[in-house]
Amino acid sequence: MLNHILKDLRLHRRYLLIFGFFYPLYMGYFGSRLSTPTVAAIFGAFLYALVPIIVFGREDKFKAVGFALSLPTTRREIVQSRYLLGWLLMIVFYLISSVLMLLMPGGQIDLGEVIAVRTVLLTLASMTFVFGTLMPLFVWFGMTGLMVFLVAMQVLGIVFLLLRFVVGRGAIAIVKALPRSISAAIAALGPAGAAAAVLAVLVLVNLISLGISTRVFARKEL
């Protein structure tokens, strides 16, 4: 698994260096101008998840996966290495962006907001949702999976807008009730228990995503 990760880092080092410079710089500036890190946590997660997805897309474009399978390795190891590399890249980008948010001149966010448990968990949850959803779609459809994800998000947004106009305030009340219920459940667990519960759910979601991707890749013709 480590050999696959090192191979990807060597083959795509120029791409990673370019995006590793511009993405954190952009997110550092963008996030420092916000009064709360919530928006940066959600939007940044999407940008961070794109980096490993595009790396794997480049690898598929150059037929490097087929060559890798001719070596003494398994498809499961390739998928596992992609998940591990994906999370390593996302976390590194997130950490660099967070530091830049604090260092940007004229920033409105302080250290306490950036390192708050709520902010960190929201960022990890957003990355889990985006990366965990994108990876099975990418393994199945290739780069077309990214388009499928984007279209699905747009359709979901349209559905919510229609529900708002058709159902009216009832739909809005239902949507608002869900986060309140989740917040109440988290408060009942206490800070430490809530953090542990959220992390456990995120790990479970990633394992489910990994399992789906492994099954799809095992049946995929290269």
Query: Any idea what the Cα angle at residue 86 is, between residues 80 and 88, rounded to 5°?
Result: 105
User: Count of CB atoms within 10 A of residue 172's CB?
Assistant: 13
Position 102 scores a pLDDT of 85
Position 43 scores a pLDDT of 84
Measured CA to CA, the distance from residue 80 to residue 86 in angstroms comes to 10
Dihedral sign computed on CA atoms, order 82, 85, 88, 91: negative
Per-position pLDDT tens, the chain of length 222: 788 888 888 878 888 888 888 888 888 888 888 777 777 888 888 888 888 888 888 777 766 676 777 777 788 888 999 999 999 999 999 999 888 888 888 777 777 788 888 888 888 988 998 899 889 888 888 777 777 777 877 777 677 666 666 655 555 555 555 455 555 555 555 667 778 888 899 999 999 999 999 999 888 776
What are the sequence ranges of the domains in the chain? 2-219
Q: Which of 34, 183, 212 is nearest to 122 (CA)?
A: 183
Position 90 scores a pLDDT of 93
Position 222 scores a pLDDT of 62
Position 175 scores a pLDDT of 52
Contact indicator for 28, 97 with CB cutoff of 8 Å: yes
Position 86 scores a pLDDT of 93
Structure tokens at 77: 């190891």
Contact indicator for 8, 55 with CB cutoff of 8 Å: yes
Position 176 scores a pLDDT of 54
Q: Which of 200, 210, 195, 198 is nearest to 85 (CA)?
A: 210
In the DSSP assignment, the letter for residue 164 is: H
Q: What is the chain's length?
A: 222
CA 83 to chain CA centroid, Å, is 11
Position 183 scores a pLDDT of 54
Measured CA to CA, the distance from residue 157 to residue 133 in angstroms comes to 17
Position 212 scores a pLDDT of 94
Angstrom CA distances, 48 to 16, 87, 92, 167, 207, stand at 11, 9, 9, 36, 19
The predicted model scores a pTM of 0.80
Angstrom CA distances, 147 to 51, 59, 138, 187, stand at 15, 18, 10, 37
